[in-house]
Amino acid sequence: MKQHLLGISGLAAGVLCANVALADGGYYSGVKGAVASGRGGAFVARADDVSAVELNPAGLTHIGTTIIQIGNRFSYNQHSYTRNPTLDWGQSGTSPPYVQFPEVRNQTPWQVLDPFIGVASNFGLKNWAFAAALYSPAGTAREVYPNDGGQRYMMVRRNAQMLNYTLSAASKHNDVFGFGATVKWIAVPSLEYALIIDGSPFGNSVNPVTSDVDVHAGVKGSDLFTINAILGAWVRPTPSLEIGLSGQILPSEIHAKGTLNASLVHASMPGDTITLKRAAFPRTTFRSRCRYP
């Protein structure tokens, strides 16, 4: 009964204490799980639900029964950006105009699918616990900005679809210390990124605002198999004090392989196109790497 009360109070705290989160357009947006969120992410010590598979797998030994955890987080990720004014040296003439940029906002702020599904059980064993879970990383999956905004040379679109499949095991000794491990399979069904680039072939050209040969460049790829691992432990020197430790032990990188697409933003004629060529390769492909935290 105590565990059920903890889950309800954690959910209530997460709702009552919710506030506007400020971020610099980053991906990460907080921990998963009602209890972990209600504790402000302080869940490495005394982790006691299925979300321990990510934060501290050793905490699975605190559950002591069989539990099924299903949840989904709805989020509103409204990011805005205002570029500093600049002189547009790309314009002809001796006196470049002073350009001020309007604020741009993420055009897809709602994220309705951010799931966590897991089950944990001790299978009747006093000092052991096991778990399996499927969930998406806690983060902002999609952002879309206008092609003509001040951010156009940095990003106009991002869409990252990621899933984690985990298997965990944990053991404890007389409620004095415990340890656990999680093996994680990271799948990225789709990873998209797009921005506007200045396609001028002249190295000395300066176009800080826009140019007649701006190119909309986008990459789209996937990586369906990346292995990751987490080790965790806790120790209780006194009945009222517990210390937890957890960390990723297997360095891993996501290698997304896919295609590159490019098109002129302002085509002067209907037949204007871009041809992508790569020496000694019949097709143009890309490989992007990003380290998983």
DSSP β-bridge partners for residue 178? 172, 234
With cut-offs at 50, 70 and 90, classify the pLDDT of residue 99: very high
Q: CA–CA separation, 101 vs 87, rounded Å?
A: 11
Q: What is the pLDDT of residue 188?
A: 95
Q: What pLDDT score was predicted for residue 243?
A: 95
Average pLDDT along the chain = 83
Q: What is the pLDDT of residue 267?
A: 67
Return the pLDDT at 42.
Answer: 85
**Domain range 2-291, CATH architecture:** Beta Barrel (2.40)
Select the more confidently predicted residue: 290 or 33: 33
Are 205 and 90 contacting, i.e. CB atoms less than 8 angstroms apart? Answer: yes
Please give the sequence-ordered ranges of beta strands (E in DSSP) within 74-127, or none if there are none: 75-76, 80-81, 86-87, 98-99, 104-105, 110-111, 115-121
pLDDT digits over 234-287, tens only?
A: 999 998 999 999 999 988 888 999 999 888 887 665 566 677 666 655 554 444
pLDDT digits (tens, 9 = 90+) for 181-213: 999 999 999 999 999 998 887 777 788 898 888
Q: Position 118: which residue type?
A: G
C-alpha distances in Å from residue 29, one per residue of 42, 68, 139, 144, 166: 15, 24, 5, 17, 20
CB contact at 8 A, 221 and 260 = no
Highest mean pLDDT among 6-20, 70-84, 166-180, 274-288: 166-180
- For the chain, helix (H) and strand (E) counts, in that order, are 3, 16
pLDDT at 4 over 90: no
pLDDT digits (tens, 9 = 90+) for 45-66: 888 999 999 999 999 999 999 9
Q: Which range scores top for mean pLDDT: 2-16, 39-53, 61-75? A: 61-75
